[in-house]
Amino acid sequence: MNPQLSPGFLKDLRRPEYTGDNRCLPCTAVNLVLAAALTAAAAVVSPPAAVAVALVSLASIYLRGYLVPGTPELTRRHLPERVLAWFGKSEPRAPVAGTDFDVVSFLDRAAVVVDDGEDVALAPEFQTRLEAAARDLDGEAATRAAAAELLDVDADRLSFVADDAAWRVLLDGSILGRWESRAAFVTDLAADRALAAWSEEWASVPGDARGRTLSAIRACLEACPVCGGEIRLGTESVRSCCREYEVVAATCRGCDARLFETDARAVASVE
């Protein structure tokens, strides 16, 4: 629809928190089934009424993300985990899926982390280099240039969108990746730079294992590479559109940025 021709009331009806990138596929599917049932019921009484019901239902789902208020709650309660899995909303699998590259043994072999028997932490020298790289990259122009270099694209094709729960990186307007915060993204850029200088093996780490390696480094942080603040580790309950789950989260006490977050059940299944 041409936005200039779109009546103002459509804008008022639109619910961006449930549409566009935020549209929940399970909720939309449940609503389409409800819309079909309502239309069929109306058709028994009057075919023209059924057409009107269908149009109003579809417009509501398109604009608002749902037809029946409260469907996110219904979906959360009643759609089985198996069905949510079809839409990518199930519990994450153990993080070994997809590749057999062992992130932990790489970090160990490259002496990026030290294991004191009780806990795994970044080697102090690596932490120092990571902080130095993060200082260099912390700034709109520097972050953009480093991201463009890492992704091998022109810097002006990249854009960034922040909200209170995520930092999204877009290429030509399409979402390329999501990070916990801007600080988490800067940390990944800095860790990539530090690793390239630290370990010859980093250049040959497969693409899909790189993201996991950078996340693992963020999970080991004791200080925020961006502001130097202390990292607080804890669990909390996060509610997405149609389910609620526990996460393990690392948050900076200094700048309040979320540096790392993972589903608590994924952590439990590794231990």
Per the CB < 8 A criterion, the answer to whether 155 and 143 are in contact is: no
* Using rule CB under 5 A, residue 254 touches Zn ion: yes
Q: Cα–Cα distances in Å, from 124 out to 105, 129, 180, 204, 221?
A: 18, 9, 24, 24, 11
Residue with Cβ nearer Zn ion (61 or 224): 224
* Residue 75: CB minimum distance to Zn ion, A: 36
Choose which of 10, 142, 205, 255 interacts with Zn ion (CB under 5 A). 255
Contacts 24+ apart (CB under 8 A), 266-269: 266/91, 266/92, 266/93, 266/94, 266/95, 269/94
Choose which of 147, 194, 217, 252 interacts with Zn ion (CB under 5 A). 252
* Residue 254: CB minimum distance to Zn ion, A: 4
* Residue 261: CB minimum distance to Zn ion, A: 15
Residue with Cβ nearer Zn ion (75 or 187): 187
Residue with Cβ nearer Zn ion (84 or 249): 249
**For the chain, what's the residue count?**
271
91-99, 102-110, 118-126, 252-260 -> range binding Zn ion (CB under 5 A): 252-260
How many C-beta atoms lie closer than 10 Å to residue 197's C-beta? 10
* Residue 228: CB minimum distance to Zn ion, A: 7
Residue with Cβ nearer Zn ion (95 or 254): 254
DSSP run (H or E) holding 243: strand 243-252
Q: Which of 20, 19, 26 lies closest to 86 in space, CA to CA?
A: 26
* Residue 177: CB minimum distance to Zn ion, A: 21
* Residue 212: CB minimum distance to Zn ion, A: 23
Please, which of residues 213-232 interact with Zn ion by CB under 5 A? 224, 226-227, 229
Name the amino acid, one letter, at 181. S
Residue with Cβ nearer Zn ion (137 or 226): 226
Q: Which of 100, 130, 263 lies closest to 194 in space, CA to CA?
A: 130
Residue with Cβ nearer Zn ion (67 or 223): 223
* Using rule CB under 5 A, residue 186 touches Zn ion: no
Beta bridge partners of 240: 243
Name the amino acid, one letter, at 86. W
* Residue 149: CB minimum distance to Zn ion, A: 24
Per the CB < 8 A criterion, the answer to whether 160 and 170 are in contact is: yes
Please, which of residues 20-49 interact with Zn ion by CB under 5 A? none
* Residue 138: CB minimum distance to Zn ion, A: 10
Residue with Cβ nearer Zn ion (24 or 138): 138
* Using rule CB under 5 A, residue 182 touches Zn ion: no
Burial of 67 (0-12, 13-18, 19+ CB in 10 A): buried
Residue with Cβ nearer Zn ion (65 or 229): 229
CA distance 231 to 257: 9
Question: Under the rule (CB under 5 A), what is the footprint of Zn ion?
Answer: 224, 226-227, 229, 252, 254-255
